[in-house]
Amino acid sequence: DQQVKQNSPSLSVQEGRISILNCDYTNSMFDYFLWYKKYPAEGPTFLISISSIKDKNEDGRFTVFLNKSAKHLSLHIVPSQPGDSAVYFCAASSQGGSEKLVFGKGTKLTVNP
């Protein structure tokens, strides 16, 4: 039972354009959401997070949007750079869930020069 879903296994964009990665969740108890970036043979690296009391969080070129009613979040990268090419994982946790992260399957982003 996938509680966090990333329905696009891959995404390809041109350098300088916007990358939009999507994530859906089913568990209404989730109240903290994170995006991680992962390069091959490395561990996931924390990128940005958002609490359920917010609907937007921005950090430089990265913005995460949360739509609680739709149980949907997205990561926007503007402008996209070739170094952004990686697998992006969406993750969620709930208060009282002992900070257990539930991950999506990941979306492989390729930014073409």
Partner 1 sequence: DTAVSQTPKYLVTQMGNDKSIKCEQNLGHDTMYWYKQDSKKFLKIMFSYNNKELIINETVPNRFSPKSPDKAHLNLHINSLELGDSAVYFCAAGRGDHQPQHFGDGTRLSIL
- Tell me the closest approach of the beta carbon of residue 15 to partner 1, in angstroms: 26
Q: Are 48 and 75 contacting, i.e. CB atoms less than 8 angstroms apart?
A: yes
- Tell me the closest approach of the beta carbon of residue 72 to partner 1, in angstroms: 20
Give the torsion sign (CA, 41, 43, 47, 49): positive
Nearer to partner 1, 44 or 77 (CB): 44
State the residues that interact with partner 1 by CB under 8 A. Answer: 31-32, 34, 36, 41-46, 49, 51, 89, 91, 93, 95, 98-103, 105-106
The conformation of residue 91, written as its DSSP 8-state character, comes to: E
Nearer to partner 1, 66 or 91 (CB): 91
- Tell me the closest approach of the beta carbon of residue 93 to partner 1, in angstroms: 7
What's the rounded Cα separation, in Å, for the pair 35 and 113? 24
Q: Give the chain's count of helices (H) and strands (E).
A: 0, 11
